[in-house]
A and B are shown apart, each in its own frame.
Chain A
Amino acid sequence: AQSVTQLGSHVSVSEGALVLLRCNYSSSVPPYLFWYVQYPNQGLQLLLKYTTGATLVKGINGFEAEFKKSETSFHLTKPSAHMSDAAEYFCAVSGGNNNDMRFGAGTRLTVKP
Chain B
Amino acid sequence: GQQVMQIPQYQHVQEGEDFTTYCNSSTTLSNIQWYKQRPGGHPVFLIQLVKSGEVKKQKRLTFQFGEAKKNSSLHITATQTTDVGTYFCAGPYRGGSGNTGKLIFGQGTTLQVKP
On whether the two chains bind one another, the answer is no
- B residues engaging A (CB < 8 A)? none
- A residues engaging B (CB < 8 A)? none
